[in-house]
Amino acid sequence: MAISISIDSEASANINYKEVNMRNHLITAAFFMEGLHDARPDHNVKPNYDVLIETWGKGCIELVDALVGHVPLTVTLCEAAAAACDGNYPGVFDYEVSSSFGKWFGEYILEHGDEPSPDNARTWLASHIAAFFTQFMTEEEARVVKIAIDDALVLANKPLSA
């Protein structure tokens, strides 16, 4: 006996969006980690994840948690910029931004002994996401994308109302 479940198109679209959104978050987190493994104290030294963990001093899981805590904002800013660009990506976002963020995050820890502040991380993400999406744009087109990113940043930092 076969069981048939009917899902209306709106519910189906909502489920599909959630799956795609979750997948985007997971891929971004994976590329954050890829970049983290490339972090080095200076350009003459081979990357060494064990040195990074030791410098961090708070445990590997805690390091991963601190890093991937920036995934929701990254995806939000990327989606805002992509929408302002009518979905056109000038390259591969996770190669050029997510991986670079992970590397920057790790190198920050190697240099300072702790993770960057939330403000530093937001500033890095907003500027690099804007640079990624606007790299081949006119000044006016770039302004529209930067406004979309700034608006998304404001909304992302707005406390939830009671």
- Number of alpha carbons in the 13 Å side-chain half-sphere of residue 84: 25
Domain count, the chain: 1
State the DSSP code for 161.
P
Angle, vertex CA 98, rays to CA 97 and CA 100, nearest 5: 65
Which positions of the chain have pLDDT values less than 50?
1-7, 162
Which pLDDT value is given to residue 62? 98
C-alpha 156/C-alpha 46 separation (Å) is 36
State the DSSP code for 160.
P
In a domain, 1, yes or no: no
In a domain, 18, yes or no: no
In sequence order, which ranges of 3-138 are alpha helices (DSSP H)?
9-36, 49-56, 60-68, 71-84, 93, 99-112, 118-134
In a domain, 2, yes or no: no
Name the maximum alpha-carbon separation found in the chain. Answer: 66
Radius of gyration of the chain (CA): 18
Structural domain for 39, as ranges: 26-157
In a domain, 45, yes or no: yes
* C-beta atoms surrounding 4 within 10 Å: 4
pLDDT in tens, 134-143: 999 999 999 9
pLDDT in tens, 5-37: 444 555 555 667 788 889 999 999 999 999 999
In a domain, 122, yes or no: yes
In a domain, 17, yes or no: no
In a domain, 7, yes or no: no
- Number of alpha carbons in the 13 Å side-chain half-sphere of residue 150: 6
pTM value is: 0.86
